[in-house]
Amino acid sequence: MTQETYVFLNDAWVAPEQARVPVEDRGFQFGDGIYEVVRIYRGRPFAMWPHLERLERSARELELPLPRPLPELARLIEEAPARRGLQEATVYLQLTRGYAPRIHYFPDHVTPTLVVYAQPIRLQPEEVYERGAAAIVVPDERWLRCDIKSVNLLPNALAKERARRAGVLEAILHREGVGITEGSSTNVFAVCRGKLVTAPAGRYILRGVTRDIVLELARAAGIAVEERFLSREELLAADEVFITSTTLEVMPIARIDGQPVGEGRPGPVARRLRDAFRARVAEETR
At residue 139, the 3 state secondary structure works out as strand
DSSP string for residues in 185-251: SSEEEEEETTEEEEPPSSTTS---HHHHHHHHHHHHTT--EEE-PBPHHHHHH-SEEEEEETTTEEE
Contact (Cβ atoms closer than 8 angstroms) between residue 113 and residue 21: yes
CA 203 – CA 142 distance, rounded (Å): 11
Q: Which of 39, 149, 160, 175 is catalytic?
A: 149
CA 13: distance to chain centroid?
25
CA 47 – CA 159 distance, rounded (Å): 27
Helices 48-61, 209-220: crossing angle, 10 deg rounding: 130
Q: Are strands 179-183 and 187-192 parallel, antiparallel or unpaired?
A: unpaired
CA 142: distance to chain centroid?
15
Q: Which residues contact 16 (CB under 8 A, 6 or more apart)?
A: 6, 7, 117
Contact (Cβ atoms closer than 8 angstroms) between residue 116 and residue 151: no
Task: Please indicate whether residue 149 is annotated as part of the active site.
Answer: yes
Active-site residues, by number, are 149
